[in-house]
Amino acid sequence: MKKLTIGILTNAKNTKLVNTIEAHGHEAKIFNPEKMYMYISEYERGYDRLYFGIDGDAPERITAKSIDIIINRVGKNTEFATDVLKFMVENLGIYCPNKPDSLLKASNKAKTLQILSSAKIPVPRTIVCQKPAHVKWLVETIGELPIVIKKTTGSQGDTVGIVDTKVSANSMCEFIYNSGINAVVEEYIEAESKDYRVWVVGDKTPVAMRRTAKKGDWKSNISKGGTGERVYLNEADKEICIKAAHSLGLNICGVDMLKSKKTGRSVIIEINSNPGTRIIDICNYNVWNDVIKFCEDNYKKGNQKNEIEKNPVENLSTSKEPDIEKNKADGEVDWETINNLPHNIECDKWC
Ligand SMILES: Nc1ncnc2c1ncn2[C@@H]1O[C@H](COP(=O)(O)OP(=O)(O)OP(=O)(O)O)[C@@H](O)[C@H]1O
Ligand SMILES: [Mg+2]
């Protein structure tokens, strides 16, 4: 296998992924989307470019040739990161195992459920709303109390609540009505406070864990004190998870599944395009090996060639490319390189 350069689009360190990439004999490069510049050319044939700048150093140009594969590990600021990933895939033709738009879809629980339902994948009975004024109707349409209320975007169980009395249903709906958030109101699936986190890699589910909420809680997120254990899924559950992932355009993701105690059915509650990696230690299984193997096997077959043909950006040698470095006006005062700025300077301080 030829040595590949594998980029990771991320705002974190991703040590386990970097180590696995290197253990496979490849090179890992970290790109924080917040430090990228997308240069969009005015030239009709296109000379789009991507630059990456670390602190005060001059931004470095990222060419299509310099990265073979890009893996998304974006946990925040998803909208901009999706734009960067789209640019890398569609404008530069770099292979990514996940479709860039799927990051945005997966980051929104309402959008995810809508797509899953249209793909005929079992999901909890759900109402998505902004101004829930009809509380009785809402609860009766979902079925009965308790119901689960979630913000459409959110993670680690932080914006997920359970409503189990009429009084709390009234006040929760009033809160949503007045706060202007979009809410997902779901049927509560009685599953003994357990759920399943299933990693999908291509058309396989290499590892899955059952998570159990800590005593007295109902949310099974590990970050909320839940515990995990490795489980082996039956074929039907594997199939649901793989179909769910693919319906969103994801080859690599973590699918969250509940198994209803009442009906015995498996339902999908959400899909994580940037799943946590605690599963690796809990299950003693390094799923990054599967991910790298999938990338090795698929990157040539990916959209690289087609996208380049569709968007001829990097491979046009005949037209004259403007040299923006030499384009400075005579006598222009040089800009100072902005060094030593605090790392997380807020944008409004610049204005
Ligand atoms: N409809 C439901 N019925 C019963 N339990 C639920 C339901 N929805 C969520 N839960 C419980 O709450 C937990 C958190 O919900 P969910 O996975 O939807 O959001 P999240 O944890 O904030 O997202 P992420 O997994 O991206 O961090 C689940 O792991 C599960 O234990
Ligand atoms: Mg979850």
If you measure from the C-alpha of residue 157 to the centroid of ligand 1, how many angstroms do you get, rounded to a whole number?
A: 6
| pLDDT (tens digit per residue) in 101-112 | 999 999 999 999
pLDDT of residue 303: 46
Indicate whether residue 186 lines ligand 1 (CB < 6 A).
Answer: yes
Handedness of CA 259, 263, 268, 269 (dihedral sign): negative
Q: Which residue do the tokens 């990771």 mark?
A: 8
Burial track 149-162 (b if 16+ CB lie within 10 A, e otherwise): bbbbbbbebebbbe
Ligand 1 atom nearest to 195, measured from its CA: 31
Nearest CA to ligand 1 atom 16: 157
65 against 206, higher pLDDT: 206
CB 109 within 8 A of CB 153: yes
If you measure from the C-alpha of residue 332 to the centroid of ligand 2, how many angstroms do you get, rounded to a whole number?
A: 53
If you measure from the C-alpha of residue 29 to the centroid of ligand 2, how many angstroms do you get, rounded to a whole number?
A: 28
- Across the range 28-50, mean pLDDT stands at 86
pLDDT of residue 315: 38
Q: What ligand has the least distance to the C-alpha of 150?
A: 1
Task: Indicate the top mutation candidate among 186, 195, 271 to test ligand 1's pocket, ranked by most ligand atoms within 8 A of CB.
Answer: 195
Indicate whether residue 189 lines ligand 1 (CB < 6 A).
Answer: yes
Of the chain, the percentage scoring pLDDT greater than 70 comes to 85
- Across the range 24-50, mean pLDDT stands at 88
pLDDT band at 45 (very low <50, low <70, confident <90, very high): low
Phi-psi map region of 156: left, alpha, beta (phi>0 left; psi -120 to 50 alpha) = left
| pLDDT (tens digit per residue) in 117-150 | 999 999 999 999 999 999 999 999 999 999 999 9
Indicate whether residue 52 lines ligand 1 (CB < 6 A).
Answer: no
Ligand 1 atom nearest to 158, measured from its CA: 22
- Across the range 166-173, mean pLDDT stands at 96
Q: Is the pLDDT at 342 greater than 50, yes or no? A: no
Structure tokens at 161: 């609540």
Three-state DSSP string of 122-149: CCCCEEEECCCCCHHHHHHHHCCCCEEE
pLDDT band at 336 (very low <50, low <70, confident <90, very high): low
pLDDT band at 314 (very low <50, low <70, confident <90, very high): very low
Indicate whether residue 219 lines ligand 1 (CB < 6 A).
Answer: yes
**Count H helices, E strands: the chain?**
10, 15
CB 69 within 8 A of CB 79: no
Phi-psi map region of 350: left, alpha, beta (phi>0 left; psi -120 to 50 alpha) = alpha
Nearest CA to ligand 1 atom 12: 219
Q: How many CB atoms lie within 10 A of CB 108?
A: 20
pLDDT of residue 332: 52
Structure tokens at 268: 């999908």
pLDDT of residue 324: 46
Amino acid at position 350, single letter: W
pLDDT of residue 335: 56
Amino acid at position 153, single letter: T
| pLDDT (tens digit per residue) in 193-247 | 999 999 999 999 999 999 999 999 999 999 999 999 999 999 999 999 999 999 9
pLDDT of residue 44: 65
pLDDT of residue 305: 40
What are the strands, taking DSSP E only, across the chain?
Answer: 5-10, 27-31, 36-39, 49-52, 60-62, 69-73, 126-129, 147-151, 160-163, 183-187, 194-201, 204-212, 227-231, 252-259, 266-272
CB 54 within 8 A of CB 30: no
Domains, the chain, in order of start with CATH, read 5-95+299-321 (3.40.50.20), 125-187 (3.30.1490.20), 191-285 (3.30.470.20)
Ligand 1 atom nearest to 221, measured from its CA: 29
pLDDT of residue 321: 47
pLDDT band at 279 (very low <50, low <70, confident <90, very high): very high
pLDDT of residue 240: 98
Calculate the average pLDDT of the chain. Answer: 87
pLDDT of residue 309: 39
Indicate whether residue 268 lines ligand 1 (CB < 6 A).
Answer: no
If you measure from the C-alpha of residue 275 to the centroid of ligand 2, how many angstroms do you get, rounded to a whole number?
A: 9
Separation CA 52–CA 335 (nearest Å): 18
Indicate whether residue 256 lines ligand 1 (CB < 6 A).
Answer: yes
If you measure from the C-alpha of residue 127 to the centroid of ligand 2, how many angstroms do you get, rounded to a whole number?
A: 18
Task: Indicate the top mutation candidate among 112, 163, 250, 258 to test ligand 1's pocket, ranked by most ligand atoms within 8 A of CB.
Answer: 258
Indicate whether residue 155 lines ligand 1 (CB < 6 A).
Answer: yes
Ranking 37-46, 217-226, 309-318 by mean pLDDT, the lowest is 309-318
pLDDT of residue 344: 40
Separation CA 253–CA 272 (nearest Å): 6
Please state, in angstroms and as integers, the Cα–Cα distance from residue 46 to each residue in 38, 41, 50, 66, 303, following that order. 13, 6, 13, 19, 19
Nearest CA to ligand 1 atom 21: 157
228: nearest Cα among 176, 296, 162, 275: 275
Indicate whether residue 184 lines ligand 1 (CB < 6 A).
Answer: no
Separation CA 96–CA 72 (nearest Å): 8
Q: Is the pLDDT at 306 greater than 80, yes or no? A: no
pLDDT band at 1 (very low <50, low <70, confident <90, very high): confident
Separation CA 296–CA 274 (nearest Å): 20
Separation CA 40–CA 319 (nearest Å): 16
